[in-house]
Chains A and B, each alone.
Chain A
């Protein structure tokens, strides 16, 4: 699995958009980009995934650059409940998830 690089921590004001970057410069053509988050003392939660095109669901938007070497997860209107560790993962199909250190996102009131 390709490795990913994420900032260790980020802060965002409540109500503003939170933009979480991820670098995956060695991603291969058949690897998807996934985002999971883990709220304190809970199991990880799937957020969104994509291959080439930008994706949006009820939780977030995923913007993947044209060369697929980086992506950005966007939480459009962050709330205090979005405070969590966010993991960017690249993988093929049903394989195991390989988690890195993730980004600790803190939403401030």
Chain B
């Protein structure tokens, strides 16, 4: 068990470009969460999957954001037409039915929009 992994760790993009981040949860974890964290703030919830079903989305997740979890394994978070306000750390976490109380976080993807 290697923990939650995220790719890339850092992404610099120009305003208006599309970006996609990947999260690989701990194997057999059926719950997967995405959070966003800006400088000096605590993480904010974006969306949550149980297996392949997206069960909850925050109002923070505008139409430019889309998340998928095909086959209930890895997940991708895409941001279209990036804006400078999208600059943040994007964190992924996973949990299992047996350990629902603990969410295991990945190292995050730091996005900088110039």
Least CB separation from B95: chain A residue: A94
Tally of A interface residues using CB under 8 Å: 19
Interface string of B72-114 (1 = CB under 8 A from A): 0000000000000000000101010000111111111000000
Tally inter-chain residue pairs, CB-CB below 8 A.
50
Q: A43-B93, A96-B48 are in contact. Are A34 and B42 (CB under 8 A)?
A: no
Q: Is A9 an interface residue (CB 8 A)?
A: no
Q: A42-B107, A43-B93 are in contact. Are A97 and B102 (CB under 8 A)?
A: no
Q: Is B2 an interface residue (CB 8 A)?
A: no
Q: A43-B91, A98-B45, A100-B42 are in contact. Are A93 and B100 (CB under 8 A)?
A: yes
Select B100's contact among A42, A45, A94, beta carbons within 8 Å.
Answer: A94
Residues of A within 8 A of B107 (CB): 42-43
Q: A43-B93, A49-B101, A101-B41 are in contact. Are A96 and B56 (CB under 8 A)?
A: yes
A98 to B41, CA, bound (A): 12
A32 to B31, CA, bound (A): 19
Q: A96-B56, A97-B45, A101-B41 are in contact. Are A46 and B102 (CB under 8 A)?
A: yes
Q: List 5 A-B contacts (CB under 8 A).
A: A43-B93, A43-B107, A44-B105, A49-B102, A101-B42
Interfacial residues, chain B to chain A (CB-CB below 8 A): 4, 31, 33, 35, 41-45, 48, 56, 91, 93, 95, 100-108
5 other contacts beyond A93-B100, A93-B101, with CB at 8 A cut-off? A42-B108, A44-B43, A49-B101, A85-B42, A101-B42
Interfacial residues, chain A to chain B (CB-CB below 8 A): 32, 34, 42-46, 49, 85, 87, 93-94, 96-102
